[in-house]
Amino acid sequence: MRKEPYLEQNVAIRMVDITKRFADVVANNKINLEIRFGEILALLGENGSGKTTLMNMLSGIYMQDSGAIYVKGERITIKDPHDAYSLHIGMIHQHFKLVEVLTAAENIILGLNETRLIDLKNVREQVKKICDRYGFVVDPDKKVYDMSVSEKQTLEIVKVLYRGADILILDEPTAVLTPQETDKLFVVMRNMKAEGKSIVIITHKLHEVMEISDRVAVLRKGEYIGDVLTSQTDPQKLTDMMVGRSVTLNIDRPEPVNPKESLVVKNLGVKDINGVKKLENVSFTAYTGEILGIAGISGCGQKELLEAIAGLHKLEPGSSIMFYPRGNKEEGEDLAGQSPIDIKHKGVHLAFVPEDRLGMGLVGNMNIPDNIMLKCYDQGKSPFTNKKKPRQQAIEIIHDLEIVTPGLRTPIRRLSGGNVQKILVGREISSDPYLLMTAYAVRGLDINTSYTIYRLLNEQKKKGTAVIYVGEDLDVLLELCDRILVLCSGRVSGIVDGRTAKKEEVGLLMTHFKEETA
């Protein structure tokens, strides 16, 4: 145990030998971590390495099985989020914990157990004070359902600050933000640091780690690997620490070979159940042997676009989706108005990795072979399922993609997000598709798995598959894709060349229409 007095003074939180198990899985194994005052600590690690679990023990969501937590030198037990608040620890979760129908101010005071009457005026004033101090913009009377993702996140941070937090934990805050919004967030974070607050940021994006953090702590498979000062490291070193071996950080981008029109979408329009336009007048062409990226702020119609092509949405009249398998003009099929069953029975080899893995792509309560079987269970005339082939395929996918699973019989909801995603991508690719659509294929995945996925996409590209890649990380989109289609509020605001486009240009298209396309 280190006992340097000057260090102890500086330490806001010290976690000693923290162990947490979930059933048979050790999520955190004897982890020692310290968080200092006035620093931004980046917590880095692959999926399932236990970052969120560790932080959840500080915010009172979980309790450690063994080990001790010291806050400002005092040994404490954090039983629930209330304990965490009274210790001035606040966490902003990946999935926002806000009540949609309440206003910002109401959300802020929610759960504060005030015995007095609620004085909203006072709350507003205090919120304004916090905002002015750190440079937030929050309208206290705006309802949460009217807010953008970035506004919601700001509100979460203000909520935590209002409760007097001086140790803030942000779990992948930038995953849902545009580059511009991320910059704003970083400004605020620096302001908070200047005030002496401690900030822990969990992220997968190394360039952000390099940009914002003072110190980086790395976890790997539930073990604490070590910490380094950000000024003394670089992305490559961090990756090696995270993965445990050397990983190349370059994404391949082979030139498309003999591209032919594979998917020609014209005037595509989709409305949601409430009649709100989700997609309007979307036209584009995807070519064989090419990766077409789709960028946009979350909720701009990316999801609907892929789902519409897969036959999961009712299309507006006039929409046309012509599909030419392998670019063969003679075998063109109009997919518009076809259901997924029709598309399947037409023998159109269309593979789709949806955004919602367990809610749409896979069945959480089933094991890997059964999930593989989802796509092919109805082949053949026999009324019985044939489990042999999917089982064989499952073994191959597990081997090829290095999926970590206790066994073939484990329900996949017990596996980590990265492994679940590999099963989904593995299944879709193994069908030898002519068109492969992926929505946020690497969301929440660690570097190593992400690169595996990029490699798989490139393999498909080389085989002559038309690949559509909906992504949120602009750096990756610009490195991986041949062309990038930018969606803004359900309309195409531009299609740029992935090799020449600038990040700022794409970022701008995400929020504004170019004059000529508007």
Partner 1 sequence: MMKQKHRKKEPLFRISKNGFVPLYKAWAIRIGALLLALVVCAFIIYSITKLNPLKVYGTMFQGAFGTNKRMWVTIRDTMMLLCIGLGLAPAFKMRFWNIGAEGQVLVGGIASAACMIYLRGKMSATAVLPIMFVCSMLAGAIWGFIPGYFKAKYGTNETLFTLMMNYIAIQLTSYFVALWENPYGSNTVGIINSRDKFGWFPPIFGQMYGLNVIIVLVLVVLIYVYLNYTKQGFEISVVGDSENTARYCGIDVKRVIIRTMIISGAICGIAGFLAVAGAGHTISVSTAGGRGFTTIIVAWMAKFNSFVMVLFSSLLVFLEKGAMEIASRYQLSDYVSNMIIGIILFFILGSEFFINFKVRLRQRFTKDKSQ
Q: Does 317 bind partner 1 (CB under 8 A)?
A: no
For partner 1, which stretch binds (CB under 8 A), given 74-82, 144-152, 163-171, 205-213? Answer: 74-82
Least distance to partner 1 from the beta carbon of 43, Å?
A: 23
* 3-state secondary structure (DSSP) of residue 92: strand
Least distance to partner 1 from the beta carbon of 478, Å?
A: 30
In angstroms, the Cα distances linking 350 to 279, 341, 366 are: 21, 12, 23
Which residue's CB is nearer to partner 1, number 1 or number 518?
1
- Tell which one of 63, 120, 225, 395 touches partner 1 (CB under 8 A): 63
Residues 66, 17 contacting (CB under 8 angstroms):
yes
Which residue's CB is nearer to partner 1, number 65 or number 223?
65
- Tell which one of 231, 273, 275, 384 touches partner 1 (CB under 8 A): 384
The label of the residue with tokens 């000024």 reads 231
- Euclidean distance between CA atoms 322 and 332, whole angstroms: 6
Q: Does 74 bind partner 1 (CB under 8 A)?
A: yes
Residues in the chain: 518
218 strand-pairing partners: 44, 226
Residues 325, 263 contacting (CB under 8 angstroms):
no
- Euclidean distance between CA atoms 201 and 211, whole angstroms: 12
If you write DSSP's letter for every residue of 420-432 in order, what string do you get?
HHHHHHHHHHHT-
In angstroms, the Cα distances linking 25 to 40, 99, 225, 344 are: 30, 32, 18, 38
Least distance to partner 1 from the beta carbon of 205, Å?
A: 29
Size of the site for partner 1 (CB under 8 A): 51
Residue 285 neighbours by CB under 8 Å, 6+ apart: 261, 262, 263, 264, 265
466 strand-pairing partners: 290, 435
- Euclidean distance between CA atoms 344 and 99, whole angstroms: 40
Q: Is the backbone of residue 305 left (phi > 0), alpha (psi -120 to 50) or beta?
A: alpha
Least distance to partner 1 from the beta carbon of 363, Å?
A: 4
Q: Does 361 bind partner 1 (CB under 8 A)?
A: yes
Q: Does 370 bind partner 1 (CB under 8 A)?
A: yes
Q: Does 16 bind partner 1 (CB under 8 A)?
A: yes
> Would you say the C-alpha torsion 178, 180, 183, 185 has a positive or negative sign?
negative
Q: Does 26 bind partner 1 (CB under 8 A)?
A: no
- Tell which one of 2, 5, 24, 500 touches partner 1 (CB under 8 A): 24
The label of the residue with tokens 């974070």 reads 189
For partner 1, which stretch binds (CB under 8 A), given 19-27, 135-143, 326-334, 499-507? Answer: 19-27
Q: Does 362 bind partner 1 (CB under 8 A)?
A: yes
User: Interaction with partner 1 in 400-419: which residues (CB under 8 A)?
Assistant: 406, 410
Which residue's CB is nearer to partner 1, number 73 or number 135?
73
The string over 95-117, giving b where at least 16 C-beta atoms fall within 10 Å of a residue's C-beta and e elsewhere, is ebebeeeebbbbbbbeeeeeeee
Q: Does 344 bind partner 1 (CB under 8 A)?
A: yes
- Tell which one of 134, 224, 287, 352 touches partner 1 (CB under 8 A): 352
- Tell which one of 10, 19, 37, 76 touches partner 1 (CB under 8 A): 76
Which residue's CB is nearer to partner 1, number 354 or number 498?
354
For partner 1, which stretch binds (CB under 8 A), given 22-30, 116-124, 461-469, 475-483? Answer: 22-30
Least distance to partner 1 from the beta carbon of 64, Å?
A: 10
Residues 289, 259 contacting (CB under 8 angstroms):
yes
- Tell which one of 378, 432, 497, 504 touches partner 1 (CB under 8 A): 378
- Tell which one of 10, 21, 111, 179 touches partner 1 (CB under 8 A): 21
Q: Does 373 bind partner 1 (CB under 8 A)?
A: yes
Which residue's CB is nearer to partner 1, number 80 or number 396?
80
Q: Is the backbone of residue 70 left (phi > 0), alpha (psi -120 to 50) or beta?
A: beta
- Euclidean distance between CA atoms 138 and 415, whole angstroms: 38
Which residue's CB is nearer to partner 1, number 5 or number 250?
5
- Euclidean distance between CA atoms 408 and 395, whole angstroms: 8
- Tell which one of 360, 395, 479, 513 touches partner 1 (CB under 8 A): 360
- Euclidean distance between CA atoms 434 and 153, whole angstroms: 39
Least distance to partner 1 from the beta carbon of 229, Å?
A: 25
Residues engaged in binding partner 1 (CB under 8 A): 1, 14, 16, 21-25, 63, 65-66, 68, 70, 73-77, 79, 83, 86, 310, 312, 339-341, 343-344, 352, 354, 356, 358-366, 370, 373-375, 377-378, 383-385, 406, 410
